[in-house]
Structure 1
Amino acid sequence: MSNSTFTQGSSETEGTSQPNSTAETVLELDGVCKTYGDERVIDDLSLSVTDGEILTLLGPSGCGKTTTLRLIAGLERPDSGEVLLDGAPVAGNGDFVAPEQRGVGVVFQEFALFPHMTAEENIAFGLKDAPESEREDRVDEMLDLVGLDAHRDSHPDELSGGQQQRVALARSLAPEPEMLLLDEPFSNLDVDLRVEMREEVRRILKDAGVTAISVTHDQEEALSISDRVAVMNDGRIEQIDRPEQVFQHPESRFVAGFLGHASFLSGFVTGDEVETGLGTLSRDRIHGLAEEYDGTKLDVLARPDDLTASPAPGDQSDGEVVHRRYLGPTVLYRVELDNGDVLECMHDHTDQVAVGTRVAVELDANHDLAWFPASQR
């Protein structure tokens, strides 16, 4: 059961889970299901995407995100439900439009460039039916958009991974598709280049004004590139919203845990306060905590960057450091509180707190906190 009834009561009134209501809807999936053998891979999935939006399908391997992308592209047929592009059905209820007739471009994980063609020739490949002058102008425009004019005569093996990705992106954008689909677009790049290319790809997509759907299992990638994120699990969308909303106000424990480290601080609501293993929290710090939950138990979501642990004498401490993980720029400490809760605290890499040290833990978040009913634990 989602905790949207409990912690996300304002999301519907704010409209944050919906696409831009003033923009034209480009894509709709309505009750789409897909089964392979006895396994239901996509289960009654519905979503809509508006013109110029970048939406990312985020989830673990096997959650159905790539199958969803293939259903949109026309590489798979839904067993039930409908897929509509610009309001016209392209799959479902007896309709099926072939992939090449949908006006949808795809950037594959491995880029799929033709090795015997130059960057210019790769980009021009999808423009064979256009007059030569128009084709040349469009290729020039694309090379300029992705910043590769100086490499127009280079073959793929003469280009870096990031440059190859930009050629693949330009090739897909050249025919001016209604929508662009990106399948794990950064997975073949090294870590540093991945971060750089996220920003570059978002810029290119926004400059081109194209609607895009990306698929990834990388949380940081999804949060940084997207206008909205749809978190998927077991063939369903658990939550779809702006990156900030999904991260700060997750509607299920799965979403909370998948989008980074999640610790849960047990509490008891009494009047205007919530009693916890770290002392008393003001009720107004808990997001959307309605009056009817007075006298009930709950679990407050605390991210590692919301918590700090400082060595303290026994009578002033809250718990003990039971694990330490060095991450380079930061150190992640796991603290077991005296009440049994286990919290993770993120510190600067220069901090040195040994395992076994008694510590006082401070919850110093400057934002409201999501929560879940204790019964979900």
Structure 2
Amino acid sequence: MSNGELLTSTADEPSFETATPETVLELDGVAKRYGSETIIPELSLSVRDGEILTLLGPSGCGKTTTLRLIAGLERPNGGSIRLQNGFVAGNETFVPPEERDVGVVFQEFALFPHLTARENVAFGLDGWEPEERDARVEELLELVGLEEHGDHYPDELSGGQQQRVALARSIAPEPDMLLLDEPFSNLDVDLRVEMREEVRRIIKKAGVTAISVTHDQEEALSISDRVAVMNDGVIEQVGTPERVFQQPKSRFVAGFLGHASFLSGQVHGDHVETALGRVLRDDIHGLAQQYDGTEIDLLVRPDDVTAYPADGTEADGQVVYRRYLGPTVLYRVELDDGDVIECMHNHSDRLELDERVAVRVTADHELAWFPAGQRD
């Protein structure tokens, strides 16, 4: 059992605590196979009205397949998918993608090169009255900040502007759900950060429920109301970005969401004894009395610990790795007991390779933990 299993799973979305919003999408026991290969063994997930939920995981974990199942681009081999109170897959039902009222933004944006930005946005509004269609298009061009670029063709627009057009086109018909497949992967690094904030603003302003897919941890944490971390076709944890980062339910989640070091220790009454000294039980999340006398591993992130030059018996280990990151420097310290801890320091704090150091736990929040020896 991991520390996450001691949590109450309904308490990890503070933005939804005061009222329970409507569930607009529900996957129940969904499975997908290609021949003899099982991509998704059995997946269940619900998405709430108005939220942005991101499927996060490494390449090949099944997140894009899940998105395609929701869109109707793939048929599940088992389970069911319900969208807005109606089944769209399973129970002897399969609703084709064009009838699901779902918008999709692809990695490559898929704009029509022979149509202007305005015409691209209007493409899915053929059934609308001309005046209503024109008003909707102008409303969306203003929403995405492209009201002065409506007559430009895609090759006359920057990557960020093309993405905004693709987003406006997808939400123009007022879909029940918006799906974004690696929406920032084709943008350069600086534009990627800018567009995350912009896309979140646009989606929230439009009031659309959205599911995004990415393997980029920073992207998922910054854009999402909730994150679903996937591994080998299984959702390992769903929760707010803060919850999954600070209180991961598995070592996979802990490691995938950033640098993770594990500090071994033994529980003794009101504290845990470690190679770096005592850590009070009150500073450890959900450590029950039943674990007294047992070995556990504390999860420490690089900003949870600080290393200082030290000599003799004051030293806990030595620096074995150093990576300069500009504003910060990441150090890896091999402790004398064999544990390896990573520390993040300001660029002005310089430690040398092979230098002996003392390391202290300086976290200002509760630490997560796992039973000793548990590897997943």
Letter of the 1:292 partner, please give it: Q
The correspondence for 1:11, drawn from 8, 11, 16, is 8
Where does the alignment leave 5 or more consecutive residues of structure 1 unmatched? none
Alignment CA distance shift 1:350-1:15 (3 Å): closer
Letter of the 1:11 partner, please give it: T
1:47-67 Cα distance to aligned partner (Å, 9 max, x none): 101110100000000000000
The answer for the alignment partner of 1:128 in structure 2 is 126
Q: CA deviation at 1:375?
A: 2.5
The answer for the alignment partner of 1:75 in structure 2 is 73
The answer for the alignment partner of 1:195 in structure 2 is 193
The answer for the alignment partner of 1:336 in structure 2 is 334
Alignment CA distance shift 1:17-1:296 (3 Å): farther
Where does the alignment leave 5 or more consecutive residues of structure 2 unmatched? none
Q: CA deviation at 1:92?
A: 1.0
Distance in 2 between the 1:228 and 1:80 partners? 25
Q: CA deviation at 1:313?
A: 1.1
The correspondence for 2:63, drawn from 56, 62, 65, is 65
Corresponding residue SS for 1:136: helix
Distance in 1 between the 2:72 and 2:16 partners? 23
The answer for the alignment partner of 2:219 in structure 1 is 221
Distance in 1 between the 2:7 and 2:73 partners? 38
Give 4+ residue runs of structure 1 displaced > 3 Å after superposition: 15-21
1:135-164 Cα distance to aligned partner (Å, 9 max, x none): 100100110110100100111111111100
Corresponding residue SS for 1:250: coil
Q: CA deviation at 1:87?
A: 1.6
Distance in 1 between the 2:368 and 2:37 partners? 33
Q: CA deviation at 1:22?
A: 1.9
1:7/1:287 contact within 8 Å kept: no
The answer for the alignment partner of 2:175 in structure 1 is 177
Letter of the 1:109 partner, please give it: Q
Distance in 2 between the 1:336 and 1:177 partners? 53
The correspondence for 1:25, drawn from 23, 26, 33, is 23
The correspondence for 1:207, drawn from 205, 208, 226, is 205
Q: CA deviation at 1:129?
A: 1.7
Q: Percent identity?
A: 71
1:19/1:48 contact within 8 Å kept: no
Alignment CA distance shift 1:169-1:216 (3 Å): same
Alignment CA distance shift 1:40-1:372 (3 Å): same
Corresponding residue SS for 2:123: helix
User: In terms of mean alpha carbon deviation, does 191-200 or 19-28 score higher?
Assistant: 19-28
Distance in 2 between the 1:206 and 1:155 partners? 27
The correspondence for 1:295, drawn from 269, 293, 303, is 293
Q: CA deviation at 1:26?
A: 0.5
Alignment CA distance shift 1:7-1:172 (3 Å): closer
Distance in 2 between the 1:218 and 1:19 partners? 25
1:239-265 Cα distance to aligned partner (Å, 9 max, x none): 000000000000000000000000000
User: In terms of mean alpha carbon deviation, does 142-151 or 344-353 score higher?
Assistant: 344-353
Distance in 1 between the 2:197 and 2:15 partners? 24
| Aligned-residue CA RMSD (Å) | 1.4
Distance in 2 between the 1:29 and 1:266 partners? 38
Distance in 1 between the 2:125 and 2:90 partners? 30
